Amino acid sequence: MHHHIKRLKKHRNVLYGLVIVLVVFQIVVFFVFTSQTSRLISEQERANEYFENKISNELGGVREEMKANINELANVISQNSEDFQQEINLLKSTRDDFSGVVEESIKGVVTISTERASGSGFFVHSSGYIVTNWHVLDGSNTMKVIDYSGNEINAELIGMDDFTDLALLKVPGIYNHLDLANSDDIQIGETVIAIGNPLGLAFTVTEGIVSAIDREGPNGLEAYVQTDVTLNPGNSGGPLINKEGKVVGVNNFKIGGAESLGFALESDVVKERINMIANQTIIE
């Protein structure tokens, strides 16, 4: 009987030992499994983050490239459109049809009104800078500008140059402006037009030719375009425009009593003097 009890205790101890070993084994397996699972999850997260960043960077690069290509295409289309319109205007003008040039240029011309006189002017910069003759403004306290849309705007006098009879005004807003031609490109005999406000008739267009260049003006400066374009009081300060729609001169004076003898200050002098008045480059 005693021997039997010892055998039972021995078996029980063995059983306890097996249970303990099994529990320890399960605990070890659990920790190993948990550790491996955590490592795999961490590696998976790192892999996901890597591929997400890679895909995001590649998509960002593709987007930037597409954006650049679209902008380049838009610029090309815009430039081609401008070139095409210029070609149309040039073709019209070569047939003595300035309608295309007038349609584009007249939007950049203004009527100038003071309590003493009226005249013409034109935008030389889209931010509202206007060139005109100083004698149109001289002695006036208030200056108003009427644009092609009929808006009447108070103008600020930026400065003047009495020697060349030029003045620079500014009005708030964004406007169509006229480009100035290179004086060296002016040809005797080429067709030109004047847009202005003769005798109060706003935005009147007259046509003629360049009769001579480098004529001497009242100031002794040999920098005037002579033209047979009809110029009347009110044309002063307006643009003389070539077939490309560029300003070759600022209409300044005519010889009294004589027909077809008008004079405009050449564009290169206008550029130089206006930039000097503005103390910055507003005309390229």
Question: Cα 205 to chain center, whole Å?
Answer: 28
Question: Residue 227 in 3-state DSSP?
Answer: strand
Q: Which of 241, 261, 209 is nearest to 101 (CA)?
A: 241
Give the Cα separation of 141 and 147 in Å (integer): 20
* Annotation marks residue 161 as catalytic: no
d(CA 150, CA 146): 6
Report the 3 state secondary structure along 15-58: HHHHHHHHHHHHHHHHHHHHHHHHHHHHHHHHHHHHHHHHHHHH
Q: Is 177 a catalytic residue?
A: no
Q: Which of 135, 140, 179, 260 is catalytic?
A: 135
- Out of 118, 120, 236, 267, pick the active-site residue: 236
Of 165, 177, 183, 267, which residue is the catalytic one?
165
Active site residue 236: yes
Q: Residue 168 and residue 122: Cα distance in Å, rounded?
A: 10
DSSP code per residue over 105-149: HGGGEEEEEESS-EEEEEEEETTTEEEEEHHHHTT-S-EEEE-TT
Active site residues: 135, 165, 236
